[in-house]
Structures are given as C-alpha cells and as structure tokens.
C-alpha cells in the first residue's frame, strides 16, 4: 500500500480573540437554554418565591437539581437569594434587574413554542414515520 495523497493542507489559523467571545456567549446560552433555568425564570417573573414553592410548581425537578439551577442563576447574576433569620430559616429567590431583562425574551420564546407546538409535533411525527420505513 502506498499513500496516494501526500500533500496535506496546513491547519487552520489558531483561534482569534473573537472565538473567546463565542465561548463566553455559549456559556451564557447554555445556562439560559437549560430547561430548568427557563422554568425557574418564568416562575420568578411574578415576584419572589420560596424554594419549596418553586419545587412544588416545577413538576419533575429534584431538590438537588433545583438547588444547582438556582445556584447557577445566582452565580450568573440573574437571581438573588435572600435568607431571613427565622426558625426555620426562610429563603426567597427573586430575579435581579438582569434576570428581569432576560425574562422577556424567555417569555417570548415560550409563547412561540406554545403557539407552534402542534406544527412541531406534526413535523416530528412525519420525520419519525420516515425513519421507520
């Protein structure tokens, strides 16, 4: 056996500074695009809520996942956590100004998804039917 193509093109140029911006935006979008984060943001639009209240309202979320989601949203500056010195301690979560700014596009995306759900389900059904053939 002999190699037929021995001329290899040079590798692409190393990533420039603009790729760093893409990575930063991707990390923000991954937080915002997470299904639990979207639900929490939607529930906090109307004002502060307690942890257990959020847990009851979000069907299927575990306590650990809600904790991780709230911690991530807090880390990104989208949610504040206020602890009240009562027994037992009361903890409220609320959107920050930054979080409220995000809530509007998230709400619009949710409304779009709800409005187009029948079309999307139809497309999924047609696609799945083709794959089975």
Give the CATH number for residue 97: 1.10.10.10
Q: Is residue 123 part of a domain?
A: yes
Q: Is residue 44 part of a domain?
A: yes
Q: Is residue 40 part of a domain?
A: yes
Q: Is residue 11 part of a domain?
A: no
> Which residues span the domain enclosing 97?
18-132
* Tally of domains within the chain: 1
DSSP 13-53: PPP-HHHHHHHHHHHHHHHHHSHHHHHHHHHHTTS-EEHHH
Q: Within the chain, how many helices (H) and strands (E) appear?
A: 5, 3
pLDDT digits (tens, 9 = 90+) for 70-119: 999 999 999 999 999 999 888 999 999 999 999 888 888 888 888 999 99
pTM value surpassing 0.85: no
Q: Is residue 13 part of a domain?
A: no
């Amino acid at each position: 056996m002999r190699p037929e193509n021995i001329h290899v093109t040079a590798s692409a140029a190393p990533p420039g500074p603009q790729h760093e911006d893409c990575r930063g935006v991707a990390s923000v979008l991954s937080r915002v695009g997470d299904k639990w984060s979207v639900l929490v943001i939607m529930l906090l639009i109307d004002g502060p809520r307690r942890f257990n209240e959020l847990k009851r309202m979000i069907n299927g979320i575990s306590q650990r996942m809600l904790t991780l989601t709230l911690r991530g949203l807090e880390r990104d500056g989208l949610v504040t956590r206020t602890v009240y010195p009562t027994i037992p301690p009361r903890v409220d979560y609320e959107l920050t100004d930054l979080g409220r700014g995000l809530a509007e596009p998230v709400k619009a995306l949710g409304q779009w998804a709800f409005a187009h759900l029948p079309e999307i389900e139809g497309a999924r059904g047609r696609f799945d039917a083709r794959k089975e053939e």
